[in-house]
A and B are shown apart, each in its own frame.
Chain A
Amino acid sequence: MEPITTHTGVGVPLRASNVDTDQIIPAVYLKRITRTGFEDALFSSWRRNPDFVLNRPEYADGSVLVAGPDFGTGSSREHAVWALKDYGFRVVIAARFADIFRGNSGKQGLLTAQVPQAEVELIWKELENDPGLEVAVDLVERTVRCGSVETSFEIDDYTRWRLLEGHDDISLTLQHEDAISAYEATRHRFRPKTLPART
């Protein structure tokens, strides 16, 4: 994973709460077996509407999505994160994120910056008054700056450290392989096994 420290890019105001992962990427696109190439799938239903924010030319280079509360609810599909990243987003700002979506983002280097809704409203106003305005996000200092708005954001310390360092979880865990084997030796003997198969 590429480390992230700061990112500055065009902010895109998405005035909607409860943006579920079915909207971020409809199920029809989940049949692919690759991990990249999902940019066409992002918000594909909403993009059919010519007035949808991503269809406006001033937001064409958007890389910081500023959304309403409860972003990423519903299905666990990591494809939602892949689609956002493939399209060009590096940061999502919202007042609340669904747990699974936020976890998936952390694994894929998409920064989820949690900012109070009152601040989100101010950022929306800045972006709408001056479309194409950039948002500067600093993960080291945990700050978001956009026009006259400057605020701090929340992200848990561990995810922040992993994003800053660009660490891959599996390699970190495999450092504990001895502990895993030791744990396995102490498990209850009645715990079920899928193999050999019984039907």
Chain B
Amino acid sequence: MAANETADSVSPAPMTMAEKVWREHVVVAGSEQDGHRTPDLLYIDLHLVHEVTSPQAFEGLRLAGRGVRRTEHTIATEDHNTPTVDIDRPIADPTSRKQVDTLRTNAEEFGVRLHSLGDADQGIVHVIGPQLGLTQPGMTVVCGDSHTSTHGAFGALAMGIGTSEVEHVLATQTLPLKPFRTMAITVNGTLRPGVSSKDVILAVIAKIGTGGGQGYVLEYRGEAVEKLSMDARMTICNMSIEAGARAGMIAPDQTTFDFIAGRPHAPQGAEWDEAVEYWKTLRTDEDAVFDAEVVIDADELEPFVTWGTNPGQGVSLSGSVPQPTDFDDPAARDAAERALEYMALEPGTPMRDIRVDTVFLGSCTNSRMEDLRAAAEIIRGRSKDPDVRMIVVPGSDRVRLEAEAEGLDRIFTEFGAEWRFAGCSMCLGMNPDQLAEGERCASTSNRNFEGRQGKGGRTHLVSPVVAAATAVRGTLSAPSDVLSPAPQPA
């Protein structure tokens, strides 16, 4: 993308949103030297920090005698290791405790704002940025976490980075970035009841593959996307990385502005008007050309669920576990064989016949108010399958408090689910919330990799309403299976 067009180019050529944000942030344009082209150096507006990918970066600063260049563009929280029960006691696992303590020491030493366990603004890093109003359109946002793509829902260029890059941003507030290509993902039509943005993104990944987005910034657009709330848009952008794309974006509109207005760090007074004027200019120009385009028909979509061990191995809930021989590509066939063995699934098994042990409602993909409300709506007045364990983990402590104010916690606990404190929890099992060997889970998280939720654990990725319906019936289920009599087999 922008690397071929330097910042001082005067051509008014139509641009995509990603190109506009990129161009606005070029500090030093790339140039040809010694037979290679240096990348553009981009300014970073917001750097989110958590305990897992930052200790070695702070240590690097210390060794080099460097400080944090812009503490006022940096914010940290504790999320990956934090327990979701007994949060008033010291963290039991000494290595987890040490890592969290290290973040606390580093934040203090370098002057970085930190929201620690027990603070109302603590929570999953990708939930608290938007919640505080720190994530805004047209910004560059980075974090040492691949799900930073979440913030693209606001029309920000947001991407996950590694620890060396975390250190680089801490030291310089900039990042040299390789050029991207752009891909439009247009979702036409209207989502049917019971079909959510999670199903949209799972269908996108199944269509383009886990490598389909490599080298691209995705822009989700079209009627179905425009109708989505910010919570739902964040779910879609969150999983852009599962399609191989570092970033995914959605054009800011009135829904975006309404979400930001009044939040703690939203612009105020004259600055608000100035900001909105600017945000409105970010949309992709009419005549702009994307390097690739994908079209999805929302009316055709059904609840989607994964059967394998990468997020591209998904199928409609009304479908069946595929045969490896269904795949022409030898690598995909081998991957399917390996996945079915790990998942202990027989080809041809209807997805709805798959029984689960655990249901996990949470993660940076699906732990916001809308997700909790949608799941609560399905289970309200129903009882949980007695053999299923259900864990509900709000994305932030503020989400927990808001849900409790609405009485959602009581709906979950009366149903028989465990209502927990905020954090990443069972999405990746760095805290004690893990699957046991061989345990099968319907999870609203983002990765069904081998062992992701606990050594030997088996993950099926689902939407919050599918998770809720599954907890009622004990087998992978659509909301319609619970809300009306189960459909007869065709």
Q: Give the complex CA separation of A33 and B271 in angstroms.
A: 41
CB of B116 closer than 8 Å to a CB of A: no
User: Quick check: B450 and A35 within 8 Å, CB to CB?
Assistant: no
CB of A156 closer than 8 Å to a CB of B: yes
Interface residues of A in 58-91 (CB under 8 A from B): 68-70, 73-79, 81
User: Quick check: A107 and B164 within 8 Å, CB to CB?
Assistant: yes
The segment from A3-11, A130-138, A145-153, A180-188 that touches chain B is A180-188
Residues of chain B with a CB closer than 8 A to A184's CB: 43, 173
Shortest CB-to-CB span from B221 to chain A, Å, is 22
Q: Give the complex CA separation of A3 and B452 in angstroms.
A: 35
User: Quick check: A180 and B214 within 8 Å, CB to CB?
Assistant: no
CB of B95 closer than 8 Å to a CB of A: yes
Knowing that A161-B34, A187-B43 touch, tell me 16 more A-B residue pairs with CB under 8 angstroms: A23-B450, A30-B430, A32-B95, A69-B211, A74-B242, A78-B53, A98-B244, A100-B246, A107-B164, A170-B172, A173-B174, A177-B172, A184-B173, A188-B274, A194-B134, A194-B265
Residues of chain A with a CB closer than 8 A to B146's CB: 74-76, 100
CB of B295 closer than 8 Å to a CB of A: no
Residues of chain A with a CB closer than 8 A to B164's CB: 78, 104, 107-108, 169
Residues of chain A with a CB closer than 8 A to B162's CB: 76-78, 81, 100, 103-104, 107
Q: Give the complex CA separation of A17 and B80 in angstroms.
A: 27
CB of B73 closer than 8 Å to a CB of A: yes
Residues of chain A with a CB closer than 8 A to B211's CB: 69-70, 73, 96, 98
Q: Using known A-B contacts A100-B162, A173-B41, A187-B43, determine if residue A22 contacts B113 with beta carbons closer than 8 Å.
A: no
Q: Give the complex CA separation of A184 and B172 in angstroms.
A: 12
User: Quick check: B43 and A103 within 8 Å, CB to CB?
Assistant: no
User: Quick check: B74 and A194 within 8 Å, CB to CB?
Assistant: yes
CB of B438 closer than 8 Å to a CB of A: no
User: Quick check: B331 and A199 within 8 Å, CB to CB?
Assistant: no
Q: Using known A-B contacts A100-B160, A100-B162, A103-B162, determine if residue A31 contacts B265 with beta carbons closer than 8 Å.
A: no
User: Quick check: A99 and B215 within 8 Å, CB to CB?
Assistant: yes
Residues of chain A with a CB closer than 8 A to B178's CB: 103, 156, 158
Interface residues of B in 289-344 (CB under 8 A from A): 310, 312, 331-332, 334-335, 338
Residues of chain B with a CB closer than 8 A to A199's CB: 120-121, 132, 264
Q: Using known A-B contacts A170-B64, A173-B41, determine if residue A17 contacts B171 with beta carbons closer than 8 Å.
A: no
- For A30, A77, A169, A192, which residue has the most chain B Cβ atoms within 10 angstroms? A192
Q: Give the complex CA separation of A77 and B428 in angstroms.
A: 12
CB of B186 closer than 8 Å to a CB of A: no
Interface residues of A in 164-199 (CB under 8 A from B): 169-170, 172-174, 176-177, 179-180, 183-184, 187-195, 197-199
User: Quick check: B455 and A45 within 8 Å, CB to CB?
Assistant: yes
CB of A116 closer than 8 Å to a CB of B: no
Interface residues of B in 260-275 (CB under 8 A from A): 264-267, 271-272, 274-275
User: Quick check: A173 and B168 within 8 Å, CB to CB?
Assistant: yes
Residues of chain B with a CB closer than 8 A to A77's CB: 52-53, 162
Interface residues of A in 1-57 (CB under 8 A from B): 15-18, 20, 22-23, 26-28, 30-35, 45
CB of B4 closer than 8 Å to a CB of A: no
A114-127 CB mask vs B (1 if < 8 Å, else 0) is: 00010000000000
Residues of A within 8 A of B (CB): 15-18, 20, 22-23, 26-28, 30-35, 45, 68-70, 73-79, 81, 96-100, 103-104, 107-108, 117, 156-158, 160-161, 169-170, 172-174, 176-177, 179-180, 183-184, 187-195, 197-199
Shortest CB-to-CB span from A4 to chain B, Å, is 15
Q: What are 16 pairs between A and B in contact, CB < 8 Å?
A: A16-B335, A32-B99, A33-B55, A35-B60, A74-B447, A77-B52, A78-B144, A99-B245, A103-B161, A103-B162, A104-B165, A156-B178, A157-B35, A158-B38, A189-B274, A192-B134
Residues of chain A with a CB closer than 8 A to B447's CB: 20, 22, 74-75
Q: Using known A-B contacts A117-B331, A169-B164, determine if residue A26 contacts B171 with beta carbons closer than 8 Å.
A: no
* Residue of A with least CB distance to B312: A18
Residues of chain A with a CB closer than 8 A to B310's CB: 18, 20, 73
Q: Give the complex CA separation of A32 and B81 in angstroms.
A: 12
User: Quick check: A73 and B113 within 8 Å, CB to CB?
Assistant: no
Query: 9 tightest A-B contacts by CB?
Result: A157-B36, A104-B162, A107-B164, A78-B162, A33-B55, A198-B264, A31-B95, A76-B160, A190-B267
Residues of chain A with a CB closer than 8 A to B215's CB: 99
* Residue of B with least CB distance to A175: B28
Q: Using known A-B contacts A74-B146, A192-B136, determine if residue A33 contacts B56 with beta carbons closer than 8 Å.
A: yes
